[in-house]
Amino acid sequence: MGSNQTWISEVILLGFQVDPELEVFLFGLFLLFYSLTLLGNGVILGLICLDSRLHTPMYFFLSHLAIVDMAYASSTVPKMLANLIMQKKTISFAPCILQTFLYLAFAVTECLSLVVMSYDRYVAICHPLYYSVIMSWRVCTVLAATCWIFSFLLALVHISLILRLPFCGAQKINHFFCQIISVFKLACADTRLNQIVLFVGSVFVLVGPLCLVLGSYARILATILRIQSAEGRRKAFSTCSSHLCVVGLFGTAIVMYLAPKSSHSQEQRKILSLFYSLFNPMLNPLIYSLRNAEVKGALRRFLEKKRSL
């Protein structure tokens, strides 16, 4: 590092760069979405913990997804909300790196969790007689722990490669949080190794899981079509339709991380990031609660029990 380079102490987050009046409106709107994210996922998590009928592998993994969604949104949204109403839109360098780490870790955990959930549905529909043996609680625990451990280790690899870089001078990030691609631009050194590792990692945790999910559902669809009764086909499909909706939403991450840089402007990338970090975690509990009879039944029983007290 040259003598004229100094380590930066804080970073300016440019955010959405809109009029102050619109910033107040966005603050209220995003605060509402964030509150719904915490409330919706919290309700699902609470119902799964309290209702013994939901103590199955499917809802065990759904509870992990709810935790991931709350943590995922909380890694970026509170700082974004603060910057919308504060004149000084800055973040210290250490919290910026921590935000990058947590965002990556929770994003990868969500992707891997969706793969595990698709495998659970595959076993339930394609091998129902062996379901309790294949998806034992020990297997479920190992699969969930693997998702979390691998995700945090991969995020740690990215952060270790970032911290080897020199960061110097007054720095600005044209984003509403310390997104890893934006952090690369802060470095006053060659970041090609970081970009290669990020691309390879993105292929592994985005394209790889998507292929596994699509493969699982291709087998599931083939099995469902072989079911003789229409009621049997409807019931089988209803057990995985919610998960398919959620998987469809996570295609935005593939667009954001793997599309050529020239294909999307920075503002479009901000919107994609906002969609994946705020809207997806808010929509997930709505999708699972509105399309899942067991979750709605658990909520109804909980409310009836509360009224009877």
Domain tally, the chain:
1
Give the span between the Cα atoms of 264 and 290, in whole angstroms: 33
Q: Phi-psi region for residue 189, left (φ > 0), alpha (ψ -120 to 50) or beta?
A: beta
For residue range 62-97, what is the model confidence (pLDDT) as tens digits?
A: 999 999 999 999 999 999 999 888 888 888 888 999
What are phi and psi for residue 37, nearest 5 degrees? -60, -50
For residue 27, being part of any structural domain is answered with: yes
Please name which of 85, 76, 67 lies closest in space to residue 18, comparing C-alpha atoms.
Answer: 85
Long-range contacts of 205-208 (CB under 8 A, 24+ apart): 205/108, 205/111, 205/112, 205/154, 206/111, 206/253, 206/254, 206/257, 206/258, 207/254, 207/258
Longest dimension (CA), the chain: 76
Give the model's pLDDT for residue 148. 96
For residue 77, being part of any structural domain is answered with: yes
User: pTM of the predicted model, to two decimals?
Assistant: 0.86
Top-confidence residue, 129 or 247: 129
Strands of 10-13's sheet, edge to edge?
Answer: 90-92, 10-13, 172-173
For residue 270, being part of any structural domain is answered with: yes
Tokens of 227: 């079911």
For residue range 262-284, what is the model confidence (pLDDT) as tens digits?
A: 545 667 777 777 877 888 888 88
Top-confidence residue, 234 or 202: 202
Q: What is the mean pLDDT of residues 106-128?
A: 89
For residue 119, being part of any structural domain is answered with: yes
For residue 3, being part of any structural domain is answered with: no
**Whats the size of the chain, residue-wise?**
309
Top-confidence residue, 305 or 136: 136
CATH number for the domain spanning 54: value is 1.20.1070.10
For residue 4, being part of any structural domain is answered with: no
pLDDT of 179 > 60? The answer is yes
Distances (CA, A) of 132 to 25, 162, 213, 233: 50, 44, 21, 21
Taking the CB of residue 161, how many other CB atoms lie within 10 A of it?
A: 17
Top-confidence residue, 31 or 288: 31
For residue 241, being part of any structural domain is answered with: yes
Helix then strand then coil, % of the chain, to nearest 5: 80, 5, 20
For residue 2, being part of any structural domain is answered with: no
Q: Which stretch of 151-160, 162-171, 180-189 has the lowest confidence by average pLDDT?
A: 162-171
Please name which of 157, 16, 146, 21 lies closest in space to residue 89, comparing C-alpha atoms.
Answer: 16
Strand-pair partners of 13: 173
**Residue range of the domain that includes 30:** 10-308
C-alpha 135: how far from chain center = 24
